[in-house]
């Protein structure tokens, strides 16, 4: 472009000035008409951020992710392909570009028809307005692309005839199968307490269910050849529903005692320790029809020997505690024998420093008006049992012998 400047005061006349102005105007219009427009369009596109690739009247198939608020997945030209993940819900819509170098579009009515057979989609919503909604999923174990035909049915849009009808393709992305979870490390189960196959009794060589033992399911007229042996039996465990008759002589002769519950010592039932030579075992239905447990306990109370009382008197003499009135005494052995410790009203969270020791108590003497709460672990933890009277063997309690680690004593 060439511009002609005139100095101030220089004149060419009225007609010359008018002609010069008209000539400059015509020159500018001519230059704007012949200059290329691409540079202006590119600068306009860079300002708006919209691609200028599409021409006016171009048809674009827009793909939206319905599950993500209609987020745009892709824009396809007719014949294009979109790849979706299995289970993805998508929508197709036709857009016609209305201005070159701009994202302005209009959305004509269009009809989408998926080709048969369906291999990769399940239609959800069809219609000429609002687009075509479908779920991408593999059908009948088929692989490949799903063909979807479209047709613009709105006559108000100037669309090239070759773009009124067309196709788009949907492919499913290959998804790796989930890796199987690693197998947890094998942990051997803890051994359970063995359950006898049938009811019976267990014989022990020593009192308090200690020493060598043997399981019997039927009567034995002579214990000479057994593991425990003749005249060596001192305690017995009897399954619920069974009756054991202990005889002092073989062939079921001599004095005998009938036992229906676990017994840690025999002296209180009329049969001395290490004096049992034969045993009768009855676990039949007839044996379960009656229960003499309470009778045996009452008999034990009536026949308790004076020796038991003398043991407690010995404690008083040895400890010199002549003014003792109420409390609880724990003995390390059954029948109020062995090491002993007296406890007045109070709490004793740890028995390790006592003479009877931790987890050694096997019998207990409780003064009238007192209650002892025995605990399995120190600091009054674990299982517990209340005892309000004398017991020659703690094996008859739920806690058992050799299981007391802490104690509370409550006296009125």
Same domain, 342 and 296: no
What CATH number should be reported for the domain holding residue 136? 2.70.50
Q: Is residue 2 part of a domain?
A: no
Q: Is residue 19 part of a domain?
A: no
HSE of 186, CA atoms in CB hemisphere, 13 A: 1
Mean pLDDT of 176-203: 69
pLDDT at 343: 92
Same domain, 265 and 160: no
Same domain, 287 and 338: no
Mean pLDDT of 23-46: 43
Same domain, 272 and 336: no
pLDDT at 371: 94
Same domain, 82 and 163: yes
Over residues 349-397, the pLDDT tens digits come to: 999 889 899 999 999 999 988 999 999 999 999 999 999 999 999 998 9
How does DSSP assign 15-40, residue by residue? Answer: HHHHHHHHHHHHHHHHHHHHS-SHHH
Of 250, 273, 302, the residue that ends a domain is 302
Is the pLDDT confidence value at 203 over 50? yes
Is the pLDDT confidence value at 28 over 90? no
Same domain, 291 and 329: no
Token code pair at residue 235: 């305690």
Count of helix runs (H) and strand runs (E) in the chain: 5, 23
Same domain, 63 and 168: yes
Q: What is the number of structural domains in the chain? A: 3
Of 274, 302, 330, the residue that ends a domain is 302
Q: How high does pLDDT run on average in the chain?
A: 76
341 vs 404: CA distance, rounded Å: 13
Over residues 232-291, the pLDDT tens digits come to: 888 899 988 889 998 888 898 888 888 888 888 877 676 666 778 899 998 877 665 555
Burial of 269 from C-beta contacts in 10 A (0-12 / 13-18 / 19+): middle
Burial of 326 from C-beta contacts in 10 A (0-12 / 13-18 / 19+): middle
Q: Is residue 8 part of a domain?
A: no
Mean pLDDT of 301-320: 61
Going along 260-393, which residue ranges are E strands? 278-282, 328-333, 337-343, 346-348, 363-366, 370-377, 381-387
Instruction: Say whether the peptide bond before residue 117 is cis (omega within 30 degrees of 0).
Output: yes
Q: Is residue 46 part of a domain?
A: no
In the DSSP assignment, the letter for residue 192 is P
341 vs 397: CA distance, rounded Å: 20
Q: Is residue 178 part of a domain?
A: no
Q: Which residue has the higher pLDDT, 225 or 244?
A: 244
Same domain, 292 and 356: no
Range of the domain at 394: 319-411
pLDDT at 31: 46
Same domain, 74 and 103: yes
pLDDT at 364: 94
Q: Is residue 191 part of a domain?
A: no
Mean pLDDT of 125-141: 77
Quickly state the pLDDT bin for 409 (edges 50, 70, 90): very high
Same domain, 206 and 168: no
Same domain, 162 and 76: yes
Q: Is residue 180 part of a domain?
A: no
pTM equals: 0.33
**Strand pairing report for 235-238 and 201-206:** antiparallel
What CATH number should be reported for the domain holding residue 228? 2.60.20.10
pLDDT at 6: 44
User: Helix, strand, coil proportions of the chain in percent (round to 5)?
Assistant: 20, 35, 50
pLDDT at 305: 58
pLDDT at 408: 94
Is the pLDDT confidence value at 49 over 70? no
Q: Which of 38-52, 60-74, 82-96, 246-260 has the lowest mean pLDDT?
A: 38-52
Is the pLDDT confidence value at 173 over 60? yes
Q: Which residue has the higher pLDDT, 8 or 150?
A: 150
The answer to whether 352 and 358 are in contact (CB under 8 A) is yes
Same domain, 329 and 285: no
Q: Is residue 185 part of a domain?
A: no
The answer to whether 96 and 140 are in contact (CB under 8 A) is no
pLDDT at 225: 81
């Amino acid at each position: 472009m060439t511009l002609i400047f005139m100095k101030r005061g220089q004149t060419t006349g009225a007609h010359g000035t008018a002609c010069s102005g008209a000539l400059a105007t015509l020159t500018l219009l001519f230059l704007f008409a012949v200059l290329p427009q691409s540079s202006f369009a590119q600068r306009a596109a860079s300002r708006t951020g919209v691609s200028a690739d599409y021409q006016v009247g171009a048809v674009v198939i827009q793909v939206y992710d319905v599950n993500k608020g209609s987020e745009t997945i892709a824009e396809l030209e007719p014949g294009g392909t979109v790849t979706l993940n299995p289970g993805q819900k998508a929508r197709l819509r036709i857009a016609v570009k209305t201005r070159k170098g701009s994202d302005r579009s209009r959305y004509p009515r269009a009809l989408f028809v998926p080709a048969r057979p369906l291999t990769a989609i399940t239609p959800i919503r069809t219609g000429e307005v609002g687009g075509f909604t479908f779920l991408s999923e593999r059908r009948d174990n088929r692989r490949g692309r799903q063909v979807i035909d479209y047709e613009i049915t709105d006559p108000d849009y100037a669309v090239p005839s070759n773009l009124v009808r067309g196709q788009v393709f949907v492919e499913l992305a290959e998804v790796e199968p989930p890796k199987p979870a690693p197998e947890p490390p094998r942990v051997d189960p803890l051994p359970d307490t063995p359950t006898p196959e049938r009811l019976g009794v267990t014989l022990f060589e020593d009192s308090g269910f200690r020493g060598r033992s043997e399981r019997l399911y039927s009567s034995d007229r002579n214990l000479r050849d057994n593991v425990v042996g003749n005249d060596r039996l001192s305690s017995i465990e009897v399954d619920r529903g069974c009756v054991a008759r202990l005889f002092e002589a073989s062939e079921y002769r001599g004095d005998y005692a009938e036992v229906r519950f676990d017994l840690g010592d025999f002296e209180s039932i009329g049969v001395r320790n290490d004096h049992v030579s034969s045993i009768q075992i009855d676990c039949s239905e007839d044996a379960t029809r009656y229960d003499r447990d309470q009778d045996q306990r009452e008999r034990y109370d009536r026949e308790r020997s004076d020796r038991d009382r003398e043991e407690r008197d010995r404690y008083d003499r040895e400890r010199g505690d002549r003014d003792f009135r109420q409390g609880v005494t724990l003995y390390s052995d059954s029948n109020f024998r062995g090491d002993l410790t007296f406890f007045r009203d109070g709490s004793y969270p740890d028995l390790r420093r006592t003479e009877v020791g931790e987890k050694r108590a096997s019998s207990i003497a409780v003064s009238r008006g007192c209650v002892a709460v025995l605990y399995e672990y120190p600091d009054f933890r674990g299982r517990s049992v209340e005892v309000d009277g004398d017991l020659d063997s703690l094996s008859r309690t739920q806690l058992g012998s050799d299981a007391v680690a802490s104690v509370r004593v409550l006296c009125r």
